[in-house]
Amino acid sequence: MALETSDIFNLLRLELDDKELPGNGDSSFSLWSNEELYHYIDDAQREFARDTLCLADASTFSAVPVTTDDPWVTFDYRIVELRRVYLNSTGNVVEFMTLNDFERGGNYPGDYGQMKLNSSWKQSSGIPSIIITDMESGKGRLYPIPNADDSLEMLVYREPLEEIEDSSTDLEIDPKFRRALVHGAAMLAYAKDDVETFNKDGIDTHLVLWNRAKEEARSFFRKKTRRAPVTTYGGI
């Protein structure tokens, strides 16, 4: 049976040997409050998603607005990495790249690869075919500037959509890796700056287990996204 948020919470309290006292959901006499532990679980799940690229999403950001004469689009803060970008009006791929790659040119297929940039590129308008990802934090710069309202479909790797504040929020990562969240959250709990909670040995122990779990997950998800090998057969 898949572990849910409440299961991870209970396993974390057990791992920390920190019961809820005096009971009835009141954690005021515990070393870590319920709110703190759910916060640690949330932080652990977000770190796991960032470091392993385990949350592929092709639907949440399927209509990111593009506005006439505005070259900028906003990246949701939960997006970790772009996988593909399409212009919805045409279905065409919008290439994403850094500013350095854009200015170098010649390394990408299509008309852009043959283009020689000059200082006027920032004023060029038309149907966007490129999005520069690092000109401004949290935003993408379209080239050319859009000459009509439109939207982008973004296929991404992302962080969890909802913040974990209590047991009502579902975990998003693959069930086979959820138990690892106990190690990530316990490491954060032992790092709490308090004489009764700070535990260097506890931090070190769970850090090793946490990093090992993330590496196993990275390997698992890399295999899922790897292209199948092409086998060729020689004729007689």
Residue 111: predicted pLDDT: 52
Can you give the pTM of this predicted structure?
0.85
- pLDDT at residue 145 tops 60: yes
Read off the pLDDT of residues 150-199 as tens digits, 9 standing for 90 and up.
999 999 999 999 999 999 999 999 999 999 999 999 999 999 999 999 99
Dihedrals φ, ψ of 153, to 5°? -100, 120
The rounded percent of the chain whose pLDDT value lies above 90 is 78
Q: What is the per-residue pLDDT for 104?
A: 85
Q: Give the C-alpha separation, 225 to 230, whole Å.
A: 15
State the Cα–Cα distance between residues 71 and 58, nearest whole angstrom: 23
- Is 226 or 144 the better-scoring residue by pLDDT? 144
Of 104 and 89, the structure prediction assigns the larger pLDDT to 89
